[in-house]
Amino acid sequence: MDVTASSLSPRRRTRQIAVGSVKVGGDAPISVQSMTTTKTADVEATLAQIYALAGAGADIVRCTCNERAAAEGLAQIVPRSPVPIVADIHFHVEMALAALEAGVQGLRLNPGNLRKPEEIKLVAAEARDRGVPIRIGVNAGSLHPDIYERFGGATPEALVESARQELAYFQEVGFEDVKISVKASSVATMIAAYRLASETFDHPLHLGVTEAGPLPGGLLKGTAGIATLLAEGIGDTLRYSLTADPVEEAKAGRQLLEVLGLRERTGLDLIACPSCGRAEVDVIKVATEAQSALSALDIPIQVAVMGCVVNGPGEARHADLGIAAGRHRGHLFIRGQIIRVVPEDEMVAALVDEAKRIAEEGVEARLAARDTSAEAAAEADRAALLDAKGLDANNAGATIERIRRRGIH
């Protein structure tokens, strides 16, 4: 892990379970989950979505099992899936047993909907005998009425108590291969519930803001809750619950872990300056074009697009590759070192070409092959730009001087 991860709170150590080939908890990497939106009985459509999710970064995929046809579909899906499959169970114990018979690698039970203790223990005993873990999936919107009334609503304490009761049933039959979620659509409630859960249980925690909604709001809510907890060292697996193509959930989960330094980068990480009065190009346009072109390469690389050469290479010196605009030219740099200067209209093409070369030859080889005259050309452009626009390109200094003249204390 990089310095980003080392700057976060130490990760809370939990028990480790195995969802098929994916380890969850302990020292295992934090995993990404999503859920199919197809009818599980439609085997080919569901498999197509599972493969798309796996390609977008999902480590585990959940499918609904709400009828016999869905269970029969799972029997065909599980052996062909590229990732472990978890069956989502709500009301019917028969569906949980059928899903286990179909060979799923995990179950998700909602304790607010599957309520009879004898049925819960029956499923736990069957899962125990098959070595299949269960997620206790508590949801603020479906708490048991008794718990809701006792705590005066879907409070963090109520969510954790629901999980505790379910876990007690499991323990009665000697089953502890469990992970826990205490989701709510309120970000504040979700954060408080998971903090309490982390103090109450040593089982791995599955993070998520339930029913977060469509983009972009749902993405913001999910990130606010999940990232806050990850930064505190809480969480072992996660899912964004978006009203969108589930591929967006998998992408968001993977990208969040990568930007926090909790998973190795698998694709493009493009950083760009917000632009200012010193910018020599339309940064938004160049960054958008670069994002599209570089994403298609599927190379794990960090690329910077900077609007000017004054601070660009220095501010983005940590990037594997970058370009900064100056006097109708682009200054291409690797790890902060200028390697060549290209015409402005070739900036994106130069980034794509160099990204491919870095992937093939490595960073050190590309630095060794740099144009030795490029740094001098870049320095000339920086000097000319500062002479023309100055350090204070947005004229903040003049504004400050006017404030001072007013004698405000």
In a domain, 398, yes or no: no
Q: Are 332 and 367 in contact (CB under 8 A)?
A: no
The structure's pTM equals: 0.85
Residue 378 confidence (pLDDT):
76
Give the end of a domain, one of 259, 291, 321: 259
Q: For the domain that residue 356 is a member of, what is the CATH number?
A: 3.30.413.10
Q: What is the CA radius of gyration of the chain?
A: 26
Residue 115 confidence (pLDDT):
87
Pair (92, 167) in one structural domain: yes
Pair (144, 223) in one structural domain: yes
In a domain, 409, yes or no: no
Q: Quote the crossing angle between the two packed helices 93-102 and 117-130, to the nearest 10°.
A: 10
Pair (216, 276) in one structural domain: no
Residue 409 confidence (pLDDT):
62
Cα–Cα dist 391/387, whole Å: 9
Pair (65, 101) in one structural domain: yes
In a domain, 406, yes or no: no
Pair (284, 245) in one structural domain: no
In a domain, 403, yes or no: no
Residue 408 confidence (pLDDT):
66
How would you write the pLDDT of the chain (409 residues) with one tens digit per residue?
455 666 899 999 999 999 999 999 999 999 999 999 999 999 999 999 999 999 999 999 999 999 999 999 999 999 999 999 999 998 899 999 999 999 999 999 999 888 899 999 999 999 999 999 999 999 999 999 999 999 999 999 999 999 999 999 999 999 999 999 999 999 999 999 999 999 999 999 999 999 999 999 999 999 999 999 999 999 999 999 999 999 999 999 999 999 999 999 888 899 888 777 666 678 889 999 999 999 999 899 999 998 887 666 777 788 999 998 877 889 999 998 999 999 989 999 999 999 999 999 999 999 999 988 888 877 887 777 677 666 665 566 777 777 778 876 6
Cα–Cα dist 138/306, whole Å: 45
Cα–Cα dist 327/337, whole Å: 19
What's phi and psi for 321, nearest 5 deg? Answer: -150, 145
- Find the domain containing 123 and state its range: 3-259
> What are the structure tokens assigned to 2, written together?
């990089």
Residue 283 confidence (pLDDT):
84
Pair (227, 337) in one structural domain: no
Q: Are 324 and 287 in contact (CB under 8 A)?
A: no
Which long-range contacts link 388-396 to residues 24+ away (Cβ below 8 Å)?
A: 389/277, 389/278, 391/310, 393/276, 393/277, 393/278, 394/276, 394/277, 395/277
Give the end of a domain, one of 259, 283, 306: 259
In a domain, 321, yes or no: yes
Give the end of a domain, one of 203, 233, 259: 259
> What are the structure tokens assigned to 186, written together?
């309120």
Nearby residues of 235 by Cβ (< 8 Å), 6 or more positions away: 30, 194, 205, 206, 207, 226, 229
> What are the structure tokens assigned to 79, written together?
């052996």
Alpha helices by DSSP H, listed for 138-216, are 145-151, 156-172, 187-200
Exposed/middle/buried for 11, CB within 10 Å: 0-12, 13-18, 19+? middle
Q: For the domain that residue 93 is a member of, what is the CATH number?
A: 3.20.20.20
Q: Are 226 and 208 in contact (CB under 8 A)?
A: yes
Pair (352, 253) in one structural domain: no
In a domain, 74, yes or no: yes
Q: How many domains does the chain have?
A: 2
Q: Is 74 helix (H, G, I), strand (E, B) or coil?
A: helix
Q: 């690698």: which residue's tokens?
A: 105
**What pairing do the DSSP bridges indicate for beta strands 337-343 and 329-334?**
antiparallel
Pair (321, 379) in one structural domain: yes
Residue 308 confidence (pLDDT):
80
Residue 27 confidence (pLDDT):
95
Pair (116, 221) in one structural domain: yes
Pair (255, 283) in one structural domain: no
Of 100, 179, 93, 103, whose CA–CA distance to 136 is shortest? 179
Pair (185, 70) in one structural domain: yes
In a domain, 397, yes or no: no
Q: Are 310 and 386 in contact (CB under 8 A)?
A: yes
DSSP at 186: S
**Which uninterrupted H or E stretch holds 138?**
strand 134-139
In a domain, 124, yes or no: yes
Cα–Cα dist 207/11, whole Å: 14
Pair (99, 223) in one structural domain: yes
Cα–Cα dist 327/93, whole Å: 69
